[in-house]
Structure 1
Amino acid sequence: MQKPPPSLRAVRKELAERKLAQFIRLAWPVIEPGQPYVHGWHIDAVCEHLEAITYGHISRLLINVPPGTMKSLAAGVFWPAWEWGPKNRPSTRYVAASHSQKLAIRDNLRTRRLVASDWYQELWGDRVALTKDQNVKEKFENEATGIREAVAAGSITGARGDRVIIDDPLSVEDAGSEKVRDGVNEWFLEAVPTRLNNPDRSAIVVIMQRLHERDVSGIILAKELGYEHLMLPMEFEPERRCVTSIGFKDIRTDDGELLFPARFPRHVVDRDKKVMGSYAVAGQFQQRPAPREGGMFKKGWFEVVGAAPANTRWVRHWDLAASAAKQGSNPAYTAGVKLGRAPDGTFYVGHVARVQAEGPDVRRLIKNTAGQDGEEVEVSLPQDPGQAGKVQARDLVAMLAGFRAHAEPETGDKVTRAEPFAAQAEAGNVKLIRGDWNDAYLEELSVFPAGAHKDQVDASSGAFGRLMSKRPYGMLNVV
C-alpha cells in the first residue's frame, strides 16, 4: 500500500529542523506579525556560521555587519530557539549580553515569546516546555534545564552558559569614551571566558557593528584570539572580500555592490551616508573604523580662515577616477584640490572640486575649473603607467592649452605620498579657506587611510608635491 504524501506541516517542520534560515522564515510571523519577512543572502551567511557552532565546527565567532540587517534577531532570538526545539538540544544554556540591560531583556522576551507560542509548541512542545518557577524577563528556563539569561555588558558575574552571545557591547554614544571602551574590553577579556560551562566546547559569539578601532572586535582581531570572522560591509570592497574557514565567500563582485538592497536600496544608503558622516559610515556601514580624532590627519590641525595672503603660489592637482564604473554601480570620484603656498611658507587649501562621473563630465570639470581658477593657478595632472596613461595625460594637457598644465607619473603608494603633507598639517602649517567643501574634505582626511575614498587626500598630496618641486612647468614630459 502506497504511503500518503507528507503533510505541508510535516514538510515545513522538517525544513525548519534542517536549516536555521528556513526556521527564521517560518518563525518570523510570531516575532514580527506586522512586518513582512525580507530575505537577504547575508542572512544565510550568518545562519551558516551559527550552524557551524551548533555542529561543533567552530567555537569562537565574530560577526561584523551593519545595523538593521537582522543580526540581533538571528543570533540572539531565532538561533537559541532553533537549537532548543528543531535541533533537539533543549538543555543548552545561553547568556546573552548587550550594551544595555534593556536591550538584552528585549531579546530575552522575544525568545521566550517565540518558544511559548502556539506555533512553536505545536511543533516542538514535546521537547521544550518552560518552567513556572524560573520564568521572568531577565531569565527563563525550560524543563530540560535549558536557560536563556540576559545581562548587560560588564556584568556577567554568576551567569554561565554553553553559549555566550554578545550583541553590540558598545553603544554609539559610548564608543568615543576611552574609559567605557577599556571597561568593556577588560570585561570581555577577563570575565567572559570564565563564564563558559565547558571551556573546550562552549562557544562565544560576538555580533556587532564596528564603532571604534579599539572596540571589542578590534581587540579580537588585534590580539588574534582565534575567532572566525564574518565581515560583511554595506558596500562591497573587493580588496576586503570576506572568506571564512567553513567555505563561505562574499558573493558580491562589483565595487560598491550593496549588502541588502531589498531593505537598504541605493537611495537609502546614500541618504543615510550624508547624515552619518564619513567616520560613522566607515565603522557602522563598512566595518573598518578609524579614530574619530583622525588617523594620519586630525581635524583639529586645520584652521579655517577667510582668505590666503597676497602672492600665494597656487597649484590645482587632480586625482582622476581609476576606472569606469561597472554596470549598476556608481562611478569613482575625481577630485581637484587647489593648494597654495604663501610667502611665509604656510599652505592654504583654497578649494576642492569633486565629481562622481566619467569621461566627458570629468574633462568638462577640469577645463571649467581651470577657467575659473585663472592662468595664475598651475594645473597638475597624474600620468598613469603605460601607453594609455601617456595618451590620456597628453590629451588632457592639450585640452588645457593656454594654462600652465603639467603631467607626470606618481611614485609610491597613497599613504607614502600623503606623509609630507600630513607632517605640515600636524605642524599647524596648513589652513583651509572657508567654503562649503570644508566638512567633506576634513571627513575624508580624518578617516584616511581607512576610508573608502582617498581622492581628496591624493589630490592634496599631489598638489603639495608639485608646490615643493623645483622643476619648472614646461612641455609635457611624455614619450
Structure 2
Amino acid sequence: MPSSLHERLYRADLTSFTKLAFYELSPQHELGTTWHIDVMADALEGCLNRGATRLILNAPPRSLKSHCATVAMVVFALGRDPTRKIIVVAGTRTLAAELQRRVVTLMRTPRCRVLFPHLRPTVTPGEIILPHGGGILYRAVGQSLIGRGADLIVIDDPIAPHRAQDEGARGFVHAWYDAEIVPRLNDKAGGAIVLVMQRVHEDDLTAYVRKRGVWTEVLLPAVALKNEAWRLHRRRTVMRQKGEPLLPDREGKDTLIAVLREIGAYNFWAQYLQQPSKALGLERVGWFCAPRPFDSQSGMPIVGAFRKVREIDAILFEVFGVGQPPPYASQAPYSDAEWEARAIIQQQRLLAEAQADRHRHEA
C-alpha cells in the first residue's frame, strides 16, 4: 500500500492512529492483542464525529485505556480540528503532567508532524496551545476550571483505589464533578465528556454519573464474565467468549489468578472485573439444600444449612473454572427476608432434632 494511503488512513481512522501512536511512543514494546483497542477507539471516535456526548470506559489497569483516550484521541482530535478546545483532568497532578508529556512527545514525532503539520504546540506547565486557537488544558481533580471552556473533557482515573474506600474522598470527587465539569462545556448539548477509569468502589464516579444521565458504556473486564459481542460502527463485530482474558499475551489466566491471590477478592472484582459490588467481604455465606431426614415424622420441610465460602475460592470457580463449585452455586440468590426465614427453619430443625434425641434417651 503506498505511504500516501497509509497517511490518509491515519488521518481518518482513530483506531489506526491509536496503534500508530503506541509504536511511536513505545517502539521497544509489542502491542499484542488489539481487539479491545478497536472497541475503545470506536467508542471514542463516536464522541468526535458521531454525536455521542457522554462515554464511560471501564477497563483494568495497564490496558491502554489512558493511551487511547487521553493521548491518541486528543492528538487525533486536534489534528482533525486544531481549533478544538480540550480539558484533560487526571486524578493527580503527577498523572496530569505525564499525560501532557506524552501528548507533546507524540505531536513532535516525525510521523505525526507529517500527518498533522499544523500541530505546532506552545507548551507551558499544564497547557498546550496551538496556533489555530485550540489546545489542551491539564488539571488534577479538585483544581478549579473557572473561566475555562472546552468542547471535549476527558477525566482519567479520578480517584485512587485506596482513597475510594473513604466516603468523604468519594463525596469530594462527586461534588467537584458537579461544580466544575458540565459547566465548562462550551456547548452543553453537543459537548462531550469521557470518563476513563478502572472501577474502585460501588459508589465511585462511574456509579455516580450513571445515576445522573444517559451514558454510553464500554466495560471491559480482565476476563469475560459472559459472551461479548461488540458491534463497531464500520459493520464489524468483535466477539469474546466467556472466560477469555482481555490481554492473553500479557495477562493470561495464570497471571490473573496470581494477581487475584495477591490483591484480594474485593480489589480484583473492582479493578480487574469492573464489578465492585460483587465482593463485599472475605467470605460468602451460602445456603445449600440438605437431604430430607430419614425420620421425617415431625413434618419439618426440606431445609438446608449455611456454609461459608472464601470469596477468592468463589471467584476461582465462577470466573476461572478452577477448584470445586460452592455447594450453593446452582441456587438462586435470596433476599434478606428469605435468608432470615431459612435461618429460622434451620433453628427449628435443630431444636426438633435435639428434642427427639432427648426423648429417645429418656425412653
TM-score range (shorter-chain normalised) is 0.7 to 0.9
**Aligned-residue offset at 1:245:** 10
The one of 1, 5, 19 equivalent to 1:25 is 19
Asked whether the equivalents of residues 88 and 137 of structure 2 are also in contact (C-alpha less than 8 Å), the reply is yes
Q: Establish whether residue 208 from structure 1 lines up as the match of residue 197 from structure 2.
A: yes
What corresponds to 2:206 in structure 1? 217
Cα deviation digits, residues 400-453 of structure 1 (max 9, x gap): xxxxxxxxxx6xx323389536x9xxxxxxxxxxxxxxxxxxxxxxxxxxxxxx
- Over the residues paired in the alignment, what is the CA RMSD in angstroms? 3.7
After TM superposition, the score normalised by the length of structure 2 is: 0.79
**Aligned-residue offset at 1:29:** 2.8
For structure 2, which runs of at least 5 residues remain unmatched after alignment?
286-303, 354-363
Asked whether the equivalents of residues 265 and 279 of structure 2 are also in contact (C-alpha less than 8 Å), the reply is no
Specify the code of the residue in structure 1 equivalent to 2:349.
S
Q: Establish whether residue 233 from structure 1 lines up as the match of residue 221 from structure 2.
A: yes
What corresponds to 2:261 in structure 1? 274
What corresponds to 1:401 in structure 2? none
The one of 169, 173, 183 equivalent to 1:194 is 183
Residues 334 and 194 of structure 1: is their aligned pair in 2 closer, same or farther, counting only changes over 3 Å?
Answer: same
What corresponds to 2:334 in structure 1? 415
What corresponds to 1:265 in structure 2? 252
Specify the code of the residue in structure 2 equivalent to 1:197.
N
Residues 124 and 250 of structure 1: is their aligned pair in 2 closer, same or farther, counting only changes over 3 Å?
Answer: closer
Asked whether the equivalents of residues 56 and 201 of structure 1 are also in contact (C-alpha less than 8 Å), the reply is no
Residues 334 and 39 of structure 1: is their aligned pair in 2 closer, same or farther, counting only changes over 3 Å?
Answer: closer
Structure with greater contact order relative to length (CA < 8 Å, sep ≥ 6)? 2
**Aligned-residue offset at 1:190:** 2.5
C-alpha separation in 2, matches of 1:272 and 1:383: 23
Q: Establish whether residue 166 from structure 1 lines up as the match of residue 144 from structure 2.
A: no
What corresponds to 1:149 in structure 2? 137
Residues 290 and 129 of structure 1: is their aligned pair in 2 closer, same or farther, counting only changes over 3 Å?
Answer: same
What corresponds to 2:349 in structure 1? 469
Q: Establish whether residue 335 from structure 1 lines up as the match of residue 326 from structure 2.
A: yes
Cα deviation digits, residues 255-275 of structure 1 (max 9, x gap): x22112122111111110111
Residues 318 and 64 of structure 1: is their aligned pair in 2 closer, same or farther, counting only changes over 3 Å?
Answer: closer
Specify the code of the residue in structure 2 equivalent to 1:469.
R
Specify the code of the residue in structure 2 equivalent to 1:27.
A
Specify the code of the residue in structure 2 equivalent to 1:267.
D
Residues 332 and 145 of structure 1: is their aligned pair in 2 closer, same or farther, counting only changes over 3 Å?
Answer: farther
**Aligned-residue offset at 1:25:** 2.0
For structure 1, which runs of at least 5 residues remain unmatched after alignment?
1-5, 299-313, 337-381, 385-409, 424-460, 473-479
C-alpha separation in 2, matches of 1:383 and 1:180: 36
| 1:14-413 alignment, distance < 5 Å | 14-85=8-79, 88-125=80-117, 127-131=118-122, 135-158=123-146, 159-221=148-210, 223-238=211-226, 251-254=239-242, 256-290=243-277, 294=281, 330-331=321-322, 333-335=324-326, 413=332
**Aligned-residue offset at 1:102:** 0.8
**Aligned-residue offset at 1:72:** 0.6
Cα deviation digits, residues 94-131 of structure 1 (max 9, x gap): 11111101101101111011112222112321x32223
Percent of pairs identical after alignment? 22
After TM superposition, the score normalised by the length of structure 1 is: 0.61
Specify the code of the residue in structure 1 equivalent to 2:333.
K
**Aligned-residue offset at 1:187:** 1.0
Report the 3-state secondary structure (helix = DSSP H, G, I; strand = E; otherwise coil) of the residue aligned with 1:335. coil
**Aligned-residue offset at 1:66:** 0.8
Asked whether the equivalents of residues 284 and 308 of structure 2 are also in contact (C-alpha less than 8 Å), the reply is no
**Aligned-residue offset at 1:156:** 3.5
Deviation larger for 65-74 or 188-197: 188-197
Asked whether the equivalents of residues 269 and 278 of structure 2 are also in contact (C-alpha less than 8 Å), the reply is no
Asked whether the equivalents of residues 66 and 287 of structure 1 are also in contact (C-alpha less than 8 Å), the reply is yes
Report how many aligned residue pairs link the two structures: 328
C-alpha separation in 2, matches of 1:244 and 1:226: 19
Asked whether the equivalents of residues 318 and 335 of structure 1 are also in contact (C-alpha less than 8 Å), the reply is no
**Aligned-residue offset at 1:317:** 6.5
Report the 3-state secondary structure (helix = DSSP H, G, I; strand = E; otherwise coil) of the residue aligned with 1:94. strand
